[in-house]
Amino acid sequence: MQAPPTPPSPSQAAAAALRVSLACVPCRSRHVRCDGKKPQCRRCSSEGKWCIYEQSRRGGLTRAALAARREATAGQRRRPASTQINLESSRSQTSSMTNAAPDLSVLAGFSFDKSLASVDSNLSTDESTGSTTSIDASGDPLLDLYYKYFQRLHPFVLPQRHFSRLLADPANYEKLKPLIAMMKFIGSLYAECENCRELKAVASALRSERQKNSLKPDGFLVQCHLLSSMALYWFGEESESREEMANAINLALELGMHNRHFAAANCYGDAVLQESWRRTWWTIYVIDAFYAAMTHVTTFPTCDIEATTELPCEEEDYESGVIPFPMTLDDFNSREFAAESYVYSSFAYLIGATHGVSSAISKGSSEFSERSSQMVLAEVDAVVDGWLLLLPDSKRQIISKSGEVDELMYQAQMAIHAAMVGAHRRFSELYFDPVETVSGCTPTPPECKSRYRVEYENIHTRRCLKAIEGQVQLMAVPTRPWLHSPFVACMVVTGTISLLSACRFYFTGHRLTIARAQIRMTIGYLKSLAQIWPRAQQSMQEVQVIAREVLMLSGKDGHSSSQLRITNQCGPTSLDTSMDQYRSVRGESIPGMDGFQSLFDFGDFCADTSWLSGS
């Protein structure tokens, strides 16, 4: 016969009386007691933390209030199907590319208050014990938006179906909270949610908390740092972005993610997770190279790392979970000798292009000012031409017959063209104007041209113009620009500023008219990207400032400039000269000032470009 239960001591009874069923997110994440006081609990108030309360899945309501809610829900179910929010339909379209604006119908009736800022909005909680039982990654509108729009641009996080499966185990919740929070923040940008800054703050706090607790650092924390760096840079917080990128790189190297054994040793027998680890390392490498290009440096932290991890597979294989035997970077770099033609994944071609150009440029000096730099330039040309010539027919078409854009090949080709413009322009006739230093996407103008450079000036000019034309064709792909990676913004700016120089110093006649239309298109392209990413707005404004100066556009008073400020062949110099003097300096005939001004009358330069952005 069992002994009767021991009655609780007075102290235990007092603790039970003080126990509250609702704890704030910061206290719950640290597994500490919370007094449940609103709007701020005592612990958060004393520690100066931001206190957030998550709404209970069961509402935290009285029986009467719960009954009223059930009645309202029943009424909602009785409504015609056309008036209901079809979340399942939205989720089924997650993996498909669409030209439509974000489907905000999935957010109807969704409250963007501070409770949404918590990453626990999809938790199912046993309120009698306070324990987490499951997390649903496929039922949150912000996560749906992340997967629908951002995942296909930089696909290294687990596919949504596999991510949900991982979250079915509540033991994974603590280590995944920061990653989920950052994914929700990025999703909120596509929803144009007013509380996106609150979501960013929560993601940052949870990331910091994750680093301080006793959980062992892992690949999911690397993914969180990487996503944070990418999102924060284009959100306009570059300093924090650089710090997060350094954290991602350092932790990835510490874990050994660049070595092939890491993915196999840390996937728990899951081939999809193993593929995710490979993708995480290569995304770090590619984004690190993009940052280097945007800051005009010839090397970067991961540039010289000897990575042995295999290359990613095709996107449809990753989404399906059927992962083929992986190829290596050495295989890719020797593909011209393969007995049989092998089509690598789009991700692999992006990595190959980045690796080839970066390796060639890192061997030279930071400035192409010596004769030896011509050898480096020749190697860059060989890398780019070889990459393009060996591209399989199936990878040449950026857009499929169904209208889906291959975003990774899109980025690869944009990057290739931007690299060609950056490498050749300083040797070409597309001279620099001092005002170009306004843009953070263009390098410092060269000081002087050597005789050696002038000898091949026409070749370099044609190389630049061909690359610019390639970018223009990519921008004309019939899809909304904001659907592309924000990293293409700086690539576009590099080509656009060079196109402005061509309008000033090189083009005449009808080609000049075409270039004017192309510049208008690039402004609209950047304007569309700025709808999602604030940093793209700054890039657009920089291009507008440069265009008005380089093309001598009318000021606010309506009077056009009667003087030309040009850049001579020995560096950027402001020269006040008449049109006749300018012709004698260039030794060629160009349109007269009146014709030139009327042709580039950009009085409507900032006019409506909604036809480009789809707004």
Contacts 24+ apart (CB under 8 A), 376-381: 377/423, 377/424, 377/427, 380/419, 380/420, 380/423, 381/420, 381/423, 381/463
d(CA 591, CA 586): 13
What 3-state class would DSSP assign to 197? helix
Q: What is the pLDDT of residue 339?
A: 85
CA atoms within 13 A on the CB side of 416: 26
Q: What is the pLDDT of residue 9?
A: 56
Q: What is the pLDDT of residue 230?
A: 97
Are the CB atoms for 152 and 346 separated by under 8 Å? no
Hey, CA dihedral for 490, 493, 497, 498, is it positive or negative? positive
- Closest residue by Cα to residue 383 from 367, 407, 363: 363
Strand partners, 568: 571
Q: What is the pLDDT of residue 572?
A: 38
Are the CB atoms for 467 and 413 separated by under 8 Å? no
d(CA 322, CA 313): 10
Model-level pTM?
0.73
Q: What is the pLDDT of residue 364?
A: 60
Strand partners, 564: 577
DSSP 8-state symbol, 123: E
Residue 52: Cβ-neighbour burial (10 angstroms; 0-12, 13-18, 19+): buried
The encoded tokens of residue 146 equal 């992340």
Q: What is the DSSP string of 328-372?
A: -HHHHHTGGG-SS-----HHHHHHHHHHHHHHHHHTS-SS--STT
Residue 234's contacts (CB-CB under 8 Å, 6 or more residues apart) are: 486, 487, 489, 533, 534, 535, 536
CB-CB neighbours of 311 under 10 Å: 21
The shares of helix, strand and coil residues in the chain, as percent rounded to the nearest 5, are: 60, 5, 40
CB-CB neighbours of 558 under 10 Å: 7
Query: Rounded to 5 degrees, what angle do the CA atoms 610, 293, 305 make?
Result: 135
Q: What is the pLDDT of residue 78?
A: 41
Residues of the chain with pLDDT under 50: 1, 11-20, 55-62, 64-66, 69, 72-73, 75-135, 366-369, 450-453, 556-615
Q: What is the 3-state secondary structure (H, E, C) of 500-556?
A: HHHHHHCCCHHHHHHHHHHHHHHHHHHHHHCCCCHHHHHHHHHHHHHHHHHCCCCCC
The encoded tokens of residue 205 equal 């706090």
- Closest residue by Cα to residue 544 from 499, 508, 497, 502: 497
As a whole number of Å, the CA-based R_g of the chain is 28
